[in-house]
Structures are given as C-alpha cells and as structure tokens.
Amino acid sequence: MSEITDDKPTSAPPPAKKGFSGLHVFGIVLLTIVATAGIGYWWLSHYVFPDNFEPVTLNASEQNSLNSKLNTLGIDTQGGGSAGPLKPEPYSEEGASREVRFSERELNGMLANNTDLAQRLAVDLSDDLLSAVLLVPFEKGFPVLGGRTVRVNAGVELSFANGRPLVKLKGVSLMGVPIPNAWLGNLKNVDLVNEFGASPGFWQSFAAGVDYIQVQDGRLLVRLKE
C-alpha cells in the first residue's frame, strides 16, 4: 500500500503588525502642540487682544462726493462759517431728493472723523446684510475681562418686502462665540418691524417713514416717504 501523505500547503505566518515608532509619536505630539499654540495665538490676538482698526481714508473724489451728500442732508462739512453768514430763504420741498445713498467706504470714512471710534468700529455692507465689528474695552474692575479689549461682531438683515422694511437681528458674537438667542431677548431672526410695528413707537414710525430700503454689496440706499 502506498503511503498517504498530507499535501495541504502550510499556512504562512501572519504579517507582523506595524505600529507607530517612538519617533512617529513624538512628531505627532509636537505637531499637535504647534497647531494648538498657533490656533490659541490667533484666537487671542484676533478676539481677546485685537489691534485697533485702521481708519478708512477717502481719496479726494470720494470725499467730495461724501461732502455733497452730507450737505444735501443739512450737515455742514466746511467746519462752520466758512461759507459766510446764513441767509433767510423760504422753505420748499420742490426738487428735493428723498433718497439717501452711501457706500461702505463712505460710512467708514465718516467714522474716520472720530479717530477713536474709527479704530474701534467697522461697518460692512453685503446683500441684505449690515454687519459691524466693534472693539469694546472693559474697565480694570470688570470680572474676568477687566483691562482687556474684546471683539464683538453683529449682523442685521435689512431689506424691503410686502411694502415695508424688514429688520432682523442675525446674531451677535463675543470673541468669536455666538451669544445664545435667550441672552438676546429671543430677538434673533425676528422681524422687528412686524413684531413691534403694530404698537406706537420707534418701529411703527420707522416703517411709516421708509418708502424703500436696499443693502447691496458695498452700497446702502434708503428712500423716504413724503
């Protein structure tokens, strides 16, 4: 009888498990520390210890255009008295424009007239949204934040719909952290004109006097009623 042999192939040994070497672990830890430090530095410098804003400086053409708009609104841009004494004249609305137009640069340029405010407040205009960034200094006796300047961001939706202006608070952030709606009186994303315009007061008067309002990228237009 022939001898029966077992011809089944022997299984290969399992591959050795590869793990992180000590050098790999050290590199990951070092990278994590550097990334955390960088993010922390950016957050502190951007929100807790932010630099003052650089005021917007209008060129001669932009300044002349802004002065013309302000003069139309009855705001003296000549420093007072340079145009000579006032002369009596009869009141008339004939030919008077009821539109107020400002660019984003003009709004920030007006802030530049107040050096301290210009360094602490900046306005941004985008489609249906007016945003503001404000640097708020806290007195030394204030808890936790005393003696520091923090960054506050806020956004308000401005548009016109159904024959009336629409005003909504989109939110407020403190040091990059959105403030809860409950802390804002639950006014976030609430149409303030619709909510409060039915009762006599500011919002009713505001809506009654605005014929049209539009915010576009870098532009603000307000048209008043007769």
Residues 183 and 107 in one domain: yes
Residues 124 and 220 in one domain: yes
Alpha-carbon dihedral sign for residues 136, 140, 146, 148: positive
Task: Work out the angle at residue 46's Cα, subtended by the Cα atoms of residues 43 and 50, and round it to the nearest 5 degrees.
Answer: 135
Residues 62 and 122 in one domain: yes
| Residue-level pLDDT at 21 | 59
Contact 217, 194 (CB under 8 A): no
**Structure tokens belonging to residue 76:** 């003296």
pLDDT in tens, 2-47: 444 555 555 555 555 555 555 555 555 556 555 555 555 455 555 5
Task: Please provide the average confidence, as pLDDT, over all residues in the chain.
Answer: 77
Residues 28 and 71 in one domain: no
Residues 46 and 102 in one domain: no
pLDDT in tens, 122-135: 889 999 999 988 88
pLDDT(1) > 50: no
Residue 39: give the domain boundaries: 23-52
Residues 27 and 71 in one domain: no
| Residue-level pLDDT at 125 | 93
Task: Work out the angle at residue 15's Cα, subtended by the Cα atoms of residues 10 and 21, and round it to the nearest 5 degrees.
Answer: 160
